[in-house]
Amino acid sequence: MTTIPVKCPVCGGTRISKNGKEGAKQRYLCGDKGCPGKSFVLEYTYNGWKPGINEQIINMAANASGIRDTARVLKVSKQKVSDTLKKREKRQTGSTSGI
């Protein structure tokens, strides 16, 4: 039996416990009391679910990368890029309508 050292991606803590499965992938839960993170998996099936991908999309848009270019580079769907930018725009304007 091989032991895999697992660290929390949010706080870097090592008090990790198993927290069920997501399909065939093991989910983990950080046991540190001060950690704001929730459960996580080591390898994500889809790149759009990885932590920090939304920030990368926003940064690329700020540097004049197009939707298709961003999707190709980050290996996510064009819809993921579009949705992330729309959500960011709604948060900035405080608007709830689609105008």
Q: What is the pLDDT of residues 9-67, one digit of tens each?
A: 888 888 889 989 888 889 999 988 888 877 888 888 888 888 889 999 999 999 999 99
> Residue 71's pLDDT is what?
95
At 74-83, the pLDDT tens digits run 999 999 999 9
Residues 6+ apart with CB under 8 A from 8: 14, 16, 30, 32, 35, 37, 40
pLDDT band for position 96 (cuts 50, 70, 90):
low
93 vs 54, more confident: 54
Distance of CA 85 to the CA centre of its chain: 15
